[in-house]
Amino acid sequence: MEVRFDSNFNSSARRSLSENRSYAILGTGALGGFYGARLQQAGIDVHFLLRSDYEYVKKHGLFIESPDGTFRLPQVNAYCNVHDMPCCDVIVVALKTTQNNLLRQMLPCLVKDNSVVLVLQNGLGVEEEVAAIVGSDRVMGGLCFTCNDKVAPGHFRHLHYGVITLAEYAYDYLACGITKRMLQVKTDFERAGILIQLAEDLLLARWKKLICNIPFNGLTVVLNATIKDLISDVHTRVLVEEMMQEMVTVAVAYHRAIADDYIEKRLKYIAKMGPYRTSTKIDFDYRRSLEVEAIFGNPLRAAQQAGIDTPQLAMLYRQLKFLDTYYCTDKAIAVLAH
């Protein structure tokens, strides 16, 4: 099965970015805070949107721990209101997908004629949400393979990896190839010491990541485990592999071929992370809303639409919906109130 490229794709509509590019970071957490700080450290103009940490970061800046070099930025462009931020060339969406309802108010304030919105979020269908606000030709997807934690206000710890896969978005996730502005964003991140991989097909890249995200992000929550626990135990490793294979089957149904040895290679790669808590596990431990729909619900619905039975994913989705409803702060309070 061949991947369909967008025959109507107009690369000229995706205009090149300015030579001296500015970045807006929406969501200065473990992901956005780390990448944004690295960009600023490299001399790039970066503007950070914060919520609870705003006062601290405005006064003290950002502190990054990393095996690639620990550093402090004593002064950053910090904002608590998106309306105070300047329009930027690259708007990085690093919010949790549970906060995507805020994007309709945020993004129009920040985009200019040749801006691109870089969506650094987990899951499936997240670019579609952004495209509905700013238009498909302004959207680029980014898939982060990194282990980061927030230690304290303005303090982020980078543990492993850090590579980002970039790909252009088009309607119905048709493949777009490599564009000039992808190369420009790549240049900025590599100047900041972040490894960038360019992908011609965003949907293929999304399915490849979901093959790993779904079992590890979900099972670490429902089994109260780390990645190391899941891989080390013979029973949970089989469960992980079964879930991964389900996603391979769905990807193939959408004409995205996955190499026969992909699962084996990813498990070897992931095993190096050690006793790492996934982002979904961290959210659950802090009783924050879980990204159930983007990471689990949307792939499940895609499988159903393609006529593919995914019993492991279906069970995991329902377990996480229960936990999200009854244990995660805002929703749990609402349920208990009734």
Q: Which residues are catalytic?
A: 209
**Alpha-carbon span 133 to 141, nearest angstrom:** 15
**Alpha-carbon span 25 to 108, nearest angstrom:** 14
**Alpha-carbon span 61 to 66, nearest angstrom:** 17
Map tokens 């493949």 to a residue: 175
Residue 258's φ and ψ, nearest 5 degrees, are: -115, 130
**Alpha-carbon span 244 to 216, nearest angstrom:** 10
Residue 16's φ and ψ, nearest 5 degrees, are: -60, 150
What would the two tokens of residue 54 be?
Answer: 């705003």
What would the two tokens of residue 220 be?
Answer: 């670490």
Residue 42's φ and ψ, nearest 5 degrees, are: -85, 5
**Alpha-carbon span 12 to 7, nearest angstrom:** 14
| Strand positions, DSSP E, 1-121 | 22-26, 45-49, 62-65, 71-73, 77-79, 90-93, 116-119
Q: Are 150 and 124 in contact (CB under 8 A)?
A: no
**Alpha-carbon span 37 to 102, nearest angstrom:** 23
Sign of the alpha-carbon torsion through 307, 309, 310, 316 = positive
Map tokens 């103009």 to a residue: 45
Question: Of the candidates 227, 259, 244, which has an alpha carbon nearest to the alpha carbon of residue 299?
Answer: 244
